[in-house]
Amino acid sequence: MKMVDKKILAVAVGAIFVLGIYGPNLANIVQTAEAHGVQAQLQSRFIQITDEALTRQSLSTGETLVLTGTLVSLVERDQRGWISLFSESTNSGNRWEIMARDPPGVVITIPGNSITDYAITAKALEPGVYHVHTQLNVANVGPGLGPGSTVVVEGEPIIKPIPWAMLAYQSVMIAAAYVVTFATRPWKVI
């Protein structure tokens, strides 16, 4: 027998030995962990989301949910960003319609070293069990999420009409961006 064959045989016998001893208890040795797929960086180093709260934990489709909290700026300079609702679900849903934001507007300015209260009002459009978070997207930094809470939505789905004019506008803007990108890109020969 060659030396390589002896090594493979020794490893196989050792594996059989270990599985024979620990095999029945292997499930107890290997611990499992579960999470709901949230990014590792939940909070920004620039602005933190604190005191996040929901007005209700269960509602029917068509009813509104208000997500409130506080944005705490940890830097001296003003930051621009936008607040939204981020939700995860076990079904294929995740449909919410943002009805109002406070402070108002899509893009807001968060003054440096400040505390800003916020509220997001959203209407549930589809039944399901959701894990709802505040999502703060800070310009030139990226997104951050609040701790989140579970919300149960029951009822029939609400189907919203497709805004064809907005879809056409966005398609034209994307096409124009592609034209500019490809027209100004220096082509390289590989």
Q: Are residues 89 and 13 in the same domain?
A: no
* Per-residue confidence band for 4, with pLDDT thresholds at 50, 70 and 90: low
Residue range 97-117, pLDDT digits in tens: 999 999 998 899 999 999 999
The answer to whether residue 103 sits within a structural domain is yes
pLDDT computed for residue 171 by the predictor: 86
Is there a domain that residue 38 lies in?
no
Mean pLDDT on 124-142? 90
Number of compact structural domains in the chain? 2
pLDDT digits (tens, 9 = 90+) for 52-94: 999 999 999 999 999 999 999 999 999 999 999 998 877 665 6
Q: How far is CA 63 from CA 45, 85, 95, 158, in A?
A: 34, 15, 13, 11
Residue 166 has pLDDT above 90, yes or no: no
Q: Residues 85, 69: contact at Cβ < 8 Å? A: no
Same domain membership, residue 118 and residue 143? yes
> Are residues 110 and 138 part of one domain?
yes
Asked which of 97-106, 133-142, 179-188 is least confident by mean pLDDT, the reply is 179-188
Please give the pLDDT value at position 33: 46
Residue 178 lies in a domain: no
The reply to whether 155 falls in a domain is yes
Q: Binning pLDDT at 50, 70 and 90, where does residue 162 land?
A: confident
Asked if 12 and 58 sit in the same domain, the reply is no
> Could you tell me the maximum CA-CA distance found in the chain, to the nearest angstrom?
79
Indicate if the pLDDT at residue 151 is higher than 70: yes
64 and 132 share one domain: yes
Contacts of 69 (CB under 8 A, 6+ apart): 49, 50, 51, 52, 53, 117, 118, 134, 146
Same domain, 126 and 91: yes
Whether residue 21 sits in one domain with residue 63: no
- Asked whether residue 77 is domain-assigned, the answer is yes
179 domain residue, yes or no: no
Is residue 189 predicted with pLDDT exceeding 50? Answer: no
Same domain, 54 and 20: no
Helix H, strand E, coil C: the string for the chain is CCHHHHHHHHHHHHHHHHHHHHHHHHHHHCCCCCCCCCCCCCCCCCEEEEEEEECCCEEECCCEEEEEEEEEECCCCCEEEEEEEEEEECCCCCCEEEEEEECCCCCEEECCCCEEEEEEEEEECCCEEEEEEEEEEECCCEEEECCCEEEEEECCCCCCCCCHHHHHHHHHHHHHHHHHHHHHCCCCCC
- Are residues 17 and 79 located together in one domain of the fold? no
Report the C-alpha gap between 182 and 178 in whole angstroms: 6
10 and 51 assigned to the same domain: no
- Within this chain, do residues 71 and 111 fall inside the same structural domain, yes or no? yes
CATH code for the domain in which residue 144 is found: 2.60.120.570
Domain that holds residue 96: 47-159
Q: Is residue 31 pLDDT above 60, yes or no?
A: no
Better-scored residue on pLDDT, 80 or 180 = 80
